Amino acid sequence: MTVRAGFGRRLAESVAARGALCVGIDPHPALLNAWGLEESPAALERFAMTAVEALAGEFAVLKPQSAFFEVYGSAGVAVLEKVVAASREAGALVLLDVKRGDIGSTMTAYANAYLDEHSPLAADALTVSPYLGFGSLAPALGIAEQTGRGVFVLARTSNPEGAALQRSTADDGRTVGQSIVDAAGENNAGADPYGYVGVVAGATIKPGELDFSRLNGPILAPGLGAQGATVQSLRATFGAALPSVLPATARDVLRHGPSVADLRSAARRVRDELGVLLES
């Protein structure tokens, strides 16, 4: 598959056509069991490809969580390769959730693994951690820009433990999370409709905690459903930035399997609720 337009444009087009929802493909052992599956690479494939069959043809973004595949070793990674390829083939953008972050030279290798068209794991975007310094991500940003792909940088994560670090104040008075959002925004300056450097800000964070007015990029907001955030809470949490928010949910949809129809209906319900929110 050849990637042409910049990621910001591709994401905006996909969201316009398919709705603003990212569904996580997180094959938790408990979910496999709930679907009547054993914990094995074959069952992992059954689970993940059922989710792809249900979702990839009509939802904007799918976000496989690499950890749940890696746990099965090379057999699990082979399943992840299939999930990425089949999802993209069906028209979904794939945001690979790997939360990578390392010194610059190693970051180049990670970026090549996930963003180079010829890599077996090439996705449309990946999650990255800036906590070795935002500048250490430069190789990933460079490769993403060149290849029309995106990165989502962890700014203010949905987990309660994130606050101590991410809400702490840097020397210039901004919170660490805000400085990440601002650094992402510098890379997106001038992009239309928006740039390729997204941020991750949990749907569970306090309203108004971050100022997104200079981001000019997408905001991935995980935490909808299983972590307690609701569609209704998004407006208060994100305010004027809501149109740039890509809400994400995984377990709350996946628990409706193994029926393809039930999975699809569950994801449609969330997407429809989000559609109503965005139109109001």
Ligand X SMILES: O=C(O)c1cc(=O)[nH]c(=O)n1[C@@H]1O[C@H](COP(=O)(O)O)[C@@H](O)[C@H]1O
Does the protein bind ligand X through residue 65 (CB under 6 A)?
Answer: yes
* Smallest separation, CB 271 to ligand X (Å): 14
Stretch that binds ligand X, among 83-91, 108-116, 223-231, 239-247 (CB under 6 A): 223-231
In the block, tokens 């999975």 appear at 263
Q: Give me 78's structure tokens.
A: 């082979």
157 is a contact residue toward ligand X (CB under 6 A): yes
Output 148 or 202, the one with its CB closest to ligand X: 202
In whole angstroms, give the CA distance from residue 250 to residue 252.
6
Q: Binding to ligand X by residue 112, rule CB under 6 A?
A: no
Q: Is 250 in the site for ligand X (CB under 6 A)?
A: yes
Interaction between residue 60 and ligand X (CB under 6 A): no
Sole residue written with tokens 């004027």: 240
Does position 24 bind ligand X by CB under 6 A? yes
| Distance in Å, CB of 224 to ligand X, minimum | 6
Using a 10 angstrom Cβ sphere, with 0-12 exposed, 13-18 middle and 19 or more buried, the burial of residue 125 is: buried
Token look-up 């009547």 returns 36
24 vs 185, beta carbon nearer ligand X: 24
The minimum distance between CB 67 and ligand X, in angstroms, equals 8
Binder to ligand X among 11, 88, 97, 266 (CB under 6 A)? 97
> Can you tell me the distance from the alpha carbon of 41 to that of 84, in angstroms, rounded to the nearest whole number?
16
C-beta separation of 230 from 183 below 8 A: no
Residue with tokens 């749940």: 68
For the four alpha carbons of 224, 226, 230 and 235, in that order, the dihedral sign comes to negative
CA 217, distance to chain mean position in Å, is 13
The residue within the footprint of ligand X, chosen from 66, 158, 166, 179 (CB under 6 A), is: 158
The residue range among 47-55, 143-151, 175-183, 218-226 that interacts with ligand X, by the rule CB under 6 A, is 218-226
Q: Which of 178, 141, 181 is nearest to 7 (CA)?
A: 141
HSE value, Cβ hemisphere, 13 Å, CA-based, for 57: 8
User: Judged by CB under 6 A, does residue 237 bind ligand X?
Assistant: no
- Does 64 interact with ligand X (rule: CB under 6 A)? no
127 binds ligand X (CB under 6 A): yes
Bridge partners (DSSP) of residue 151 are 126, 197
Q: Which of 181, 187, 185 is nearest to 209 (CA)?
A: 181
| C-beta closer to ligand X: residue 122 or 254 | 254
Q: Catalytic residue at 63? A: no
**Contacts with ligand X: how many residues (CB under 6 A)?**
21
Secondary structure of residue 152 in the 3-state scheme: strand
- Residue 269 in contact with ligand X, rule: CB under 6 A: no
Q: Does 225 bind ligand X (CB under 6 A)?
A: yes
CB distance 111 to 144 below 8 Å: yes
**Least CB distance from residue 160 to ligand X, whole Å?**
11
**Active site residues per annotation:** 99
Which chain residues interact with ligand X by CB under 6 A?
A: 24, 26, 65, 97, 99, 127, 157-159, 200, 202, 222-223, 225-227, 248-252
